[in-house]
Chain A
């Protein structure tokens, strides 16, 4: 609850590993950089990109869609709530271009956009790129 002061941040270790992932867009093969922005914008871009990548990895579904499908059996009511409380597929398809423009780059219809997941591993005092994979962007 936004109005209930419950704060569980960093109390659960989900991975129990010295590894991490990062997500980034590539525009015509070049990395779209976000970290030079001031704190709030960098945080906004990092967090929303992570959510979008998870949305794509979960077959274009996010939390509210799964929740409403499980919680509201009435189809009419559920579709009404879905239209209000979750982004449409068309809106999600337009988001990569919006994000890259928000990052300060120009995007044309002919440009190629890729969403990449980078996996890092921490060994000693070094961080190394272990793997990277392309996340499918459909409907653009």
Chain B
């Protein structure tokens, strides 16, 4: 008889998720924006966000940035933990340490980036894995999933409430500021040509903007059913690829977060298996008095 064990469904897909997360951090390092590369950056500005105030108030990001050895050490520790997470994503100590480290990295990077960047997915994705019991992990996955869905749905909602869809030139105006550094430096090519074309053809850019709105709005369907999760994930990945192509916004930090939508059934199956094992164990214990 085949033995049924918990975690058998989630482990392999979660490993893939871990590899994707590792890749995201490697991209930070290769780009030259991880902890160690920002050493001695003297200028930061914070957004209206108490999460940033608490960390910068305690001086943690400033301390890390002013010590190269510490930044390098944190980069190495993060990489080792990511490797460990990719090998065994069910070690909650590793997931918890990584979640805290990547959260601090996010706060530090955004403070010194001096811009409220929305790519927080690379630490939020770890939240379900900091729980040990399959049921708790599943519930945390559910909460994280709703967080993701609301994040994209709110983008559609605000486009609607700010009346952005009614103005055909809205997106063309937005696109004018996306590639100015490239034009200034003379680094032109396919994407800058496409940018100029879309700035000049408002009907096409408006159609793309409405397309983006529809993809973001579709996330709302996820509040009622999980049937479309994979479709929502593919839609969002395509959306981010196009925002890189058209707007030069590379959503590297969101890839593993969105990919989590592919893991819903694996989390659920694990929980069901764990529940049935708990039920059988309890039944045996009761039978044996």
Contacts and interface: CB of A to CB of B under 8 A. Distances in A.
Nearest to A45: B181
Nearest to B29: A40
B159 interface: yes
Interface residues of B, number: 70
B42 A95 contact: yes
Given A11-B162, A17-B173, A48-B113, A5 B148 contact: yes
From DSSP, what is the main secondary structure of chain B's interface residues?
A: helix
Given A40-B28, A84-B56, A125 B151 contact: no
Nearest to B167: A13
A36 interface: yes
Contacts of A94: 42
B76 interface: no
Given A35-B182, A38-B27, A20 B49 contact: no
A85 B176 contact: no
Contacts of A5: 147-148, 150-151, 154
Contacts of B31: 37-42, 44
A125 B200 contact: yes
A35 B45 CA distance: 22
Contact of A62 (B41, B45, B109): B45
B200 A122 contact: yes
Given A40-B33, A118-B184, A120-B183, A8 B155 contact: yes
B262 interface: no
A66 B161 CA distance: 29
A8 B49 contact: no
A84 B46 CA distance: 11
A75 interface: no
Nearest to A65: B45
Contacts of A115: none
A11 B187 contact: no
A85 B196 CA distance: 39
Contacts of B187: 33, 35-36
Given A22-B184, A38-B31, A127 B196 contact: yes
Contact of B45 (A63, A81, A122): A63
Given A67-B48, A87-B43, A98-B40, A34 B181 contact: yes
Contact of B180 (A11, A20, A90, A98): A20
12 contacts: A2-B106, A11-B155, A15-B177, A19-B176, A31-B184, A38-B31, A40-B27, A41-B33, A47-B117, A67-B48, A84-B57, A125-B200
User: 5 smallest A-B Cβ distances: which pairs?
Assistant: A5-B151, A51-B114, A40-B31, A91-B42, A22-B180
Interface of B: 27-28, 30-33, 37, 40-53, 56-57, 59, 106-107, 109-110, 112-115, 117-118, 120, 147-148, 150-152, 154-155, 158-159, 161-162, 164, 167, 169-174, 176-177, 180-185, 187, 196-197, 199-200, 244, 250, 252
Interface of A: 1-3, 5-13, 15-22, 24, 31, 33-44, 46-48, 50-52, 55, 62-64, 67, 81, 84-87, 90-92, 94-95, 98, 102, 118, 120, 122, 124-127
